[in-house]
A and B are shown apart, each in its own frame.
Chain A
Amino acid sequence: MAKKDTSKKKTFSVVVIVLLVLSAGIAFLLSPYASSDPDGLEWVAEFGVPENLTFIEKGEEAVWEGSPLPDYTVPVLGEEANITVMVAGIIGTLIMFGLGFGMAMILKRSEK
């Protein structure tokens, strides 16, 4: 659609690149600084209800323990908290870009 106008085409790649670099930057550089406090639901399950009604313990057993990058860590990188989260973050971001792109190729409008 924008083929006739090259200046627009340029802005398009700029938008894509800006948002991708931003995503990669967040996942790689900022992720070690994320708050480790429980998130809203976890906090409610553990502290947000009367003590005799807490339900956080119900969620402690996952039905499948085989996730390759559990809790945003790369097991082979050991215990070094920062690098393992950074690598997991960048891997995830790239996987998501590829999957999102691929899925949209399938979903896109068929006519025209």
Chain B
Amino acid sequence: MHIPDGFLSTPVSAATYAVSAVTGGVAVYRAKKFFADRLVPMAGVCAAFIFAAQMMNFPIGGGTSGHFLGAVLACVLLGPSAGFWVMTLVLVVQSLLFADGGITALGANVMNMGLVGGILGYFIIIGIMKLLPKEKKFFLGTVAVVSWLSVVLAAAVCSLELSVSGTIPFRIVFPVMTTTHAFIGIGEALITTAVTAYVLSARPDLVFAWSEDPTLGLNREVLADG
């Protein structure tokens, strides 16, 4: 769902750039507080994996394909702040080096995938986990549902940006964007859950949402050993 140049009006481009810039600033501040040293190599791994997996468009039928976004995965593994920055980095490199996603639409693409898909998705996961027993199976189930949802939410906000830009009326683009991405989201949920399950079983202390989240109240030392 990389928006190219030309789909958005100048005010929408500017406003979404502003939202992404503010989010980026807050994310730096928060990362300095919460992002642990040992997760540093995982940020490199996440960026590499998301880039590679985004190349693999999978067919969803009807002549349409979709690809992995990875925003929820990045935020679950690294926390919302570093996760947002990894998504931003992937989108910047895709736009500049690979001509995938317009430079004028970069603010919107970062906002849709990094902020709406990633950060919002992360806090929905934490919110749900506060209501559920702190067990891995509930955690993974929540990650699956929310990673699906993150793609639909990003598509919904993308529809809003297109309509405010005057490109296409909301009532026409919203149903078709969200339906299409409801199918693409299934792939998102499968990949996000599989990778999270793997890291959670190998090294639970490398899953930020599970072991490091400052509000979830899990004891990370106990979890790391158990």
- Interface Cβ pair total, 8 Å cutoff: 250
Q: How many angstroms between the C-alpha atoms of A92 and B100 in the bound complex?
A: 12
Interface: B122 (CB within 8 A):
no
- Nearest Cβ in chain A — how far from B177, in angstroms? 5
In the complex the two chains form, is B37's CB within 8 Å of A100's CB? no
In the complex the two chains form, is A88's CB within 8 Å of B98's CB? yes
- Nearest Cβ in chain B — how far from A5, in angstroms? 9
Q: How many angstroms between the C-alpha atoms of A110 and B30 in the bound complex?
A: 11
Q: Which of B179-222 contact A (CB under 8 A)?
A: 180-181, 184, 195, 198-199, 202-203, 206
In the complex the two chains form, is A59's CB within 8 Å of B6's CB? yes
- Nearest Cβ in chain A — how far from B221, in angstroms? 9
Q: How many angstroms between the C-alpha atoms of A97 and B42 in the bound complex?
A: 9
Nearest B residue (CB) for A59:
B4
- Nearest Cβ in chain B — how far from A35, in angstroms? 4
Interface: A77 (CB within 8 A):
no
Q: Which of A12-57 contact B (CB under 8 A)?
A: 12, 14-16, 18-20, 22-24, 26-27, 30-31, 33-41, 43-45, 47-50, 53, 55
B14-22, B126-134, B137-145, B166-174: which lies at the A interface? B166-174
Name the interface size band of chain A.
Answer: 35 or more
In the complex the two chains form, is B176's CB within 8 Å of A97's CB? no
Interface readout for A62-76 with B: 1 if CB under 8 Å, 0 if not?
111101111110000
Interface: B223 (CB within 8 A):
no
- CB contact between B51 and one of A41, A43, A93, A103 (< 8 Å): that residue: A93
- CB contact between A26 and one of B4, B56, B64, B98 (< 8 Å): that residue: B56
- Nearest Cβ in chain A — how far from B197, in angstroms? 12
In the complex the two chains form, is B90's CB within 8 Å of A96's CB? yes
Q: How many angstroms between the C-alpha atoms of A26 and B158 in the bound complex?
A: 28
Q: How many angstroms between the C-alpha atoms of A53 and B45 in the bound complex?
A: 41
Binding site for B on A (CB under 8 A): 1-2, 8, 11-12, 14-16, 18-20, 22-24, 26-27, 30-31, 33-41, 43-45, 47-50, 53, 55, 58-65, 67-72, 85, 88-89, 92-105, 107-110
